[in-house]
Chains A and B, each alone.
Chain A
């Protein structure tokens, strides 16, 4: 299994809603990442987890709350988002942290109304 699976593929939410994005991998990778990608722009790094601990937070607003409950799962909890947060959210994993070879999922496309 060489896949990173993200659910849901599409999500529409209101600004007062609470929702979560989920990411799963069964490759035994110990580093997991969240990226945000706006249309026609490159992916922007948000968070990095290494061995289930948050190691990088790229000054992301607190309305985005990551969680890594175990080595295979990564969540992104969303609360009180703004319309400008609408984007493609990409999850990735890598074997150890110190490699640049990341395996990306297909992304969750989020629309905030």
Chain B
């Protein structure tokens, strides 16, 4: 299982884009990049995933570098409710191993 590295914390102004980086330099060709978030006292929530191509859904966009060694999760217009811990996970065969994550604080 590839290890992922994320900054421990980040701040973002409400209404601005939040760009959360993740390094996964040892990721294998079979491993997908998944993003989850966990709002305080709740279970983790799936956000988005990708293998090689950039992905977008109603919650976020995922940008994966061409060499797949890093990725960025983009929340286009952060709100106070986006304050949470965000986890980047390299997944193969459904085995989710969470790293330390990034604690994102969205401030008014």
Instruction: Determine the chain A residues whose CB is within 8 A of the CB of B38 once the complex forms.
Output: 43
A48's partner among B85, B87, B95, B99 (CB-CB below 8 A) is B95
Interface residue tally on B, bucketed by range: 20 to 34
Q: Does A99 contact B (CB under 8 A)?
A: yes
What's the minimum C-beta distance from A21 to chain B, rounded to whole angstroms?
14
Q: Mark A28-44, 1 if CB is under 8 A from B, else 0.
A: 00010100000000111
Q: How many residues of A contact B (CB 8 A)?
A: 24
Tell me whether A42 and B101 are in contact (CB under 8 A): yes
Instruction: Determine the chain B residues whose CB is within 8 A of the CB of A99 once the complex forms.
Output: 94
Tell me whether A102 and B46 are in contact (CB under 8 A): yes
Q: Mark B21-40, 1 if CB is under 8 A from A, else 0.
A: 00000000000101000100
What's the minimum C-beta distance from B67 to chain A, rounded to whole angstroms?
21
What's the minimum C-beta distance from A33 to chain B, rounded to whole angstroms?
8
Tell me whether A43 and B32 are in contact (CB under 8 A): no
Q: Considering residues B34, B45, B89, B96, which has the most beta carbons from chain A within 10 angstroms of its beta carbon?
A: B96
Tell me whether B43 and A97 are in contact (CB under 8 A): no
Q: Does A64 contact B (CB under 8 A)?
A: no
A43–B94 Cα distance when bound, in Å, is 15
Interface residues of A (CB under 8 A from B): 4, 31, 33, 42-45, 48, 56, 90, 92, 94, 96-107
Closest 9 CB pairs of A and B: A104-B43, A100-B91, A42-B98, A100-B34, A97-B94, A98-B94, A104-B44, A43-B98, A98-B93
Q: With A33-B96, A45-B96, A103-B46 given, name 12 new contacts (CB 8 A).
A: A31-B94, A42-B87, A42-B101, A43-B98, A45-B97, A90-B43, A92-B44, A97-B94, A98-B94, A100-B96, A101-B34, A101-B46
